[in-house]
Each structure stands twice: as structure tokens, then as C-alpha cells.
Chains A and B, each alone.
Chain A
Amino acid sequence: MITDWLDILYKAFWCGCGALGFAVLFNTPSRALFAIFLCGFTAGLIKFTIIHPDVGGGIILASLIAASAVGFASIPVSHWRHVPPIIISIPSVIPFVPGSYAYRAMLGLIKFINQTEVEVLTKTVHNGAMTFFIVMVLALGVTLPMLLFRIESVKKVGIPVARRKKDKNR
């Protein structure tokens, strides 16, 4: 049990590192880097906990919940670090991009050129479908909370916030 938790913690830590690497690649302001590491770490913790056999969630469900958690977290964090939420959330979910499924799908497709067995085809299509749905779910998870808040925030809360600040200065 403890080793399981340690394993999840290690993986979460490396997820945070991955998020950090991508944040630097996208030239994110340095004031947001630590927050991105934390978001990536939290997302990793959520994802690998859900995937764990004792919990038994699928990878798509896990990705959706982790990505939505990042999306929701990015809103207070973006206020804290003074950056738009998308800057926190995109690098944080990049470690969950299903590179391994995409790779196997591509490999299967190449294999299918010479080996036209049904098994090869079903495996390839399965891997391709997993890739597609995980990417969709990641984008949706990140967007969904921002969407829910955007209707309230940028038009109704966001701009009035600035007006209030302006009033204070006057």
C-alpha cells in the first residue's frame, strides 16, 4: 500500500517536472513557473490515483478529472500569479498527452501494410481512438471550467473588477 502511494507520488512529481519543462518551452513568465509545477503535480496525483487498480477508473475518466481539476485550479492560481488561466492550465496537462497510444497506433498502421490480420487492425483502431478521446478530454477538461467561469467572469465579473479598481484610484 505504501509502495503504491510512493509510486503515485513519484509519478506525480515527474508530471510536475514535465509541466515545468513545457512551461519553459512556451516561454511562460517566471512568476508562474512554480504554480505550474504545483498544478502539474496535483494533476498527476489525481490521475494516477484514479488509474490505480484499487480505485479502478479508466485512463479517459482519470484524464478528464485531472484536466478539469487543473482547469478549476487555474482560475484562483491565475489571480494569485497575475497571468491568464490558460497559461497555467495548458502546460499542466501536457504530460497527459497520450504519446504512448499515438505511437502504438502509428506503429500498428505501419504493421498493417504487411500484416493484414484483423487483430492488428482492431488494436490499431483502439489505440487511435484512445489517443483521440484522451486529447479531446484534456482540451475539454481545461476549457470547461474556464467556459463556466467566462460567462460569469470576463464579461460580468472580469471587466467590472477593473472598473472597481479604477474607482478606487479616483
Chain B
Amino acid sequence: MSNQPSTEANELGKLLLQAGTALIKAGAGSNRVVLNVMRLADAYGYEAQVDMGTRYITVSLHSKQQEHIFSGSRHLSSLPGSNFKVIAEISRLSWAVSEKNMTVSEAGMELEKVIHLPEYNRSIVLLLVGLAGSSFCYTFGGNAIEMGITFLATVAGLFCKQELIRKKFNPYLVTYCSAVLAALIIGIAWKAGISSGLDHAFATCILFLIPGVPLINSIIDIIDGYILNGIDRGINGIIHAFAIASGLATIIYIFQVQ
């Protein structure tokens, strides 16, 4: 390039890449990522061309006269997780930028804040997800004892999942191990004779592991026409589901549940 790229465009390009990677990591659908990045660029009078997968994002910036001024790409170290706070706040930021006439560096600072927003307190997450597990047990027809056991199993499984994720194990392995632990607790309760029918507890103790976000995103992406990304997310979801099923199968085999 003969002409030096302007510093604003450079800064903006980096901001867009950062916002894009944060969105992908947080589990946003492809259309949402592309729209948000384009909206941010549009607010500063640039035109962005975005290409993305679940592990990379490429952004090129043009001025409105079609001059090429920035291009860059980022590689993501892991497959998307789910962090809806980041999705909501970046979406908000992308509107706020044009409404409040923020400068690029202000928006960058704001984005930095959004990415490092605190997560919920771990004990609250454990408690509420445990409650969610036992409520699934109720809706599937379980009684109070089964609900209690499901609560315990879910909390233990989720705790295991959080610990293993912190130690950066393979995500499918994490899912498998958590499913095994959750089902193991039900199995022990069953062998100890706490309750005769633990069908509902077995079926619901692993529901917190269900890859709902990838599966639903997969369909959304396919309908939006991002078919490759949709298949990508769908396969990711299916492998997680398979890991859950294998974990359950392991315990069913060990305990000879009929």
C-alpha cells in the first residue's frame, strides 16, 4: 500500500475485530456478528466487509469511496461458548456509538469494559442451575425425592464442569465427565435404595449439559443462509449430545439400570 492508512481506520479496524471475536466467543449467531460489526463501522462512516466462521473472523474496511484502508483477521482459540451479557452489551454499544457520537477510543474503552463484565457469582449459578435441574425433573413427572436427588446431581455435575473448564480440558471430555458424575450420583442413590424409580432423575440430571445454544444457533444460521457455520455449530452440538449420551451409557452399563 502506497498511501499510509489513517490511524482512526486502524484503530477502528482493531476495535471491530475485538468486538467480532467477543461476539463469536459469546455464542452469537453469524448474522448477528456480521450486522453488529457492520453497524459499528457504519457509525464512523466506513463500510466493513466481514467474513466469519466459528473459529475466525476477517474484517476489511473501506471508506465510502471504496478505498481500501484496513484489513485484518483474528483466530479464536476455542469454539464458541455462551455469554449473553457480552452479546447484549455489544449490541447496545453498537447502537450507542452512533447515538452518543463516541470516538473510536471511547468505544474501545467501553468495549474493553463490556468484555470484562463480571459473571454471576458461582454459588448463585450452582444454586439456580440445580433448581432448574430439579424443575425439569418435576415437569417430566418426578416426585419430591427425585427432585432433591436431581438437584444434588446437577450441582455436582456443574461444579465438575466449571472446574474442568478452568483446567482447559477438551470441551467434549468436560461434557462427558460431568455427565458421568451427575449420572453416578443418581446411580448411587438408586443402589442405596433411596427411591425405587429414578427414571426421571436419570433423564433430567444431565439436562444442564444440553448444548441448546449451538443447536438453536445452528438452525438460525442455516435459515439465514450461513450454511457452513450452521453445520459447524450443529456438529458441535451433536458431539456434545453424544458425549452426554456416552456418559449416561457408561453409568447405565456399570449399574445395570433397566
Contacts and interface: CB of A to CB of B under 8 A. Distances in A.
Q: Are A and B co-members of a single complex?
A: yes
Interface of A: 10-11, 14-15, 17-29, 32, 44, 48, 82-84, 86-87, 90, 93-95, 97, 99-100, 102-104, 106-107, 110, 135-136, 138-140, 142-143, 146-147, 150, 154, 159, 162, 165-166, 169
A15 B220 contact: no
A21 B216 contact: no
B71 interface: no
B128 to A, nearest CB: 4
A14 B138 contact: yes
Majority-rule SS of A interface residues? helix
B124 to A, nearest CB: 7
B119 interface: yes
B interface residue count range (under 10 / 10 to 19 / 20 to 34 / 35 or more): 35 or more
A19 B131 CA distance: 10
B198 to A, nearest CB: 11
A142 B212 CA distance: 12
B95 A143 contact: no
B88 A29 contact: yes
Contacts of B204: 99-100
A167 to B, nearest CB: 10
Interface in B188-225: 200, 202-204, 206-208, 210, 212-213, 215-216, 218-220, 223
A40 to B, nearest CB: 9
Interface in B208-258: 208, 210, 212-213, 215-216, 218-220, 223, 241, 245, 248-249, 252-253, 257
